[in-house]
Chain A
Amino acid sequence: METQDSRLSLDLGKIEVILATDCGSTTSKARFFKKINDEYRFVASGEAPTTVEAPYEDVTLGVRNAVREVEELTGHTLLSDEGIILPSKGNVGTDLYVTTSSAGGGLQMMVTGVIKTMTAESAERAALGAGAIVMDVISVDDGRRTFQKIDRIRHLRPDMILVSGGTDGGTVRHVLGIAELITTAEPKARLGVGYELPIVYAGNKDAREQISKILGKKFALRIVDNIRPMLSKENPEPAREAVHELFMEHVMSHAPGYDKLMRWTSVPIMPTPAGEGRMFRTLAEMRGVNVIGVGLGGATTNVYSVYDGKFVRTVSANLGMSYSICNVLKEAGIQNIMRWLPFEMDEVAVRNRLRNKMIRPTIIPQLIDALVVEHAVAREALRLGFAHHKSLARGLRGIQRQRTVSDLFEQSLEEETYIDMMRINVIAGTGGLLSHAPRRAQTAMMLIDAFQPEGVTKLAQDSVFMMPHLGVLSTVHAPASLEIFEKDCLVRIGTCIAPQGPTQPPGSLVATVHLNMPDGDRCSVEITQGELKLIPLQEGEFADAEIAPRSNSDVGAGAGHVLKAKIEGGVVGIILDGRGRPLVLADDHMMRRRELIKWFRAVDAYPQAALERYEAALN
């Protein structure tokens, strides 16, 4: 039997064929890459339902089916009775096989800390950073009574617990109190009855000995450096690494079929959000810009931000487009979903449609109306996922700062996120729904409506959903991963220009955009209140722009100041968004639907015939 270690001795120069898979909650996706004329390129994809759960309970069945589809499309044999054929020889086998996984609920963690907004928040960020779903955050001051906390810990059944609390050299009592709660509750691991639940301790180093006494007997305890060694410093990396190691050692090895899958792969299996996150980070680092990325999946919504070099990842469990679609309904409310529909639809019918998607999660919208309903839900899932993200993308609490009088008036701002949408340069999306949207303009509109970019923001998306694949590939073959990312994965949708400022009367001028187009043409286009406009500019083309906002509007250079910028084109083009920030939809149903139709038409988001039908229904 070949082990993962033996497979790691790779000669990167000899790698001609690469197979990567992602075992998602709903589908397993295979991506096939080859070296063609000295360049690594994406060749084909295959997808099949994930088979991690009953009645199949073997993840490799779904992987095989997805890979078989690649075989059918390419004529390249990849599978044998034993698994993936390694290495390649002619039209048989692959030189590298890598995979990510979020199947079976991904990595589900509980985190604890002493103070909710300090060590507990740092622990939550670290767990999310490792690609986990955080099921609950327990802290001394979380408002729950002790018995309620114990009851909660007892019933959660996480895959792993991260325990933090206290700065190094500080008091040990509180963090030991939390450890005592855990040992009293005796939580059991989600997968497999007979193995010890892994716990990572990343708290006050002075408490290690006593933590070992309290937790060491009942759990698989791993002790790492303090996540918050001092109030002014967050140190998530050791905890994150321990989480990844324990994920492989304990959790994955107990998931159905993963023992086999682990033997097939050339490098360790990576949680899907960890793979996605690596690529969004790569994108930000390559260009030296601030990026917001989102992976909209069937069960979760993962949001990533790289802002002034700071990387934060959040995984919103139960906000997704298949299994979790009705949790979006629950969290957002039916009215918030229905406000994005440009046609009349009874609330009962919308509810039933979402429920039918929930109970049969692999169905695909065959009709345009069904697609529009899914896109409405997606906007709300993205909006809620981003709100969750912003609640964690904020500065460290508990640090003493010198304040001036003016700071006192702005004290509330400390509670808010540090993400300033005006300073976000790129918003990029991945995940089945965004990558498979029939028109790229649909992805553009979903990203704009949910994230509401301000100023000048580039929009991009994953072409066929391969960012997790490239993320795990980058751990073993970074040049191949980057090459494919640039050439075949990253689709430049275009650029959104959205002035920020007080709402003006409809139709009034908000800004004027003067453009020097690549063919030498000059044009000036007005951004008017309540309007969306599209200026075609191809992918790979740039236009020099001078954007002159009205006196109380801002496009990035300050209110009333002209911004000069190089605008990048894309498969959709330049979208001028004069709808205002925050984007407020009309209360009147007819007016709202009329506006939605107008906006969809402006960017050619949906087939003309459908928009005409929606419009006719209004008259």
Chain B
Amino acid sequence: MGGIEERLRDPWHAAQAGDGGAYASCLHELAGMLRGYYRRRLTRWPDDVEDLVQETLIAVHNQRHTYDARQPLTAWVHAIAKYKFVDLVRRRAGREALNDPIDDDTALFARSDHDAADAKRDLVKLLATLPDRHRRPIECVKIQGLSVAETAKLTGMSESAVKVGIHRGLKALSELIRRQP
């Protein structure tokens, strides 16, 4: 556990300062851990693992301002992962009887799993249902890799509207995911 904490600390702090490369490598590492964690816990719904990994990565991204530099990153990610797991179980509990215990005895950082299955849910399709003011900034900046300034010029939005659109759009995306069965 100490090893992962040590390994992620510097890139994570660089990511908080805006270093996209460091951020991508942190997310990649976290994705492996989350996949291992959810695979061990979602034994009833193995097909949902990759969807939940993606949902949790979006949550980590949307909530990264709630990370306190004084706390262990692993504790922060673990709390988010557990919250998203319980949320999924609650969503499912309405339709299916609950047999798996949800007490949290599985360690998030016990074993990583970088063998990604395919996600069932297509985020691109979900993204398409967002209103233009959210969808276009996300498509231009996040997917096509344009700068905020270029996106502003292309869409006729102001630069701050582009930034706000990305931020609110990713939150709306996460909301859409939660509302899905």
Q: Do A and B bind each other?
A: no
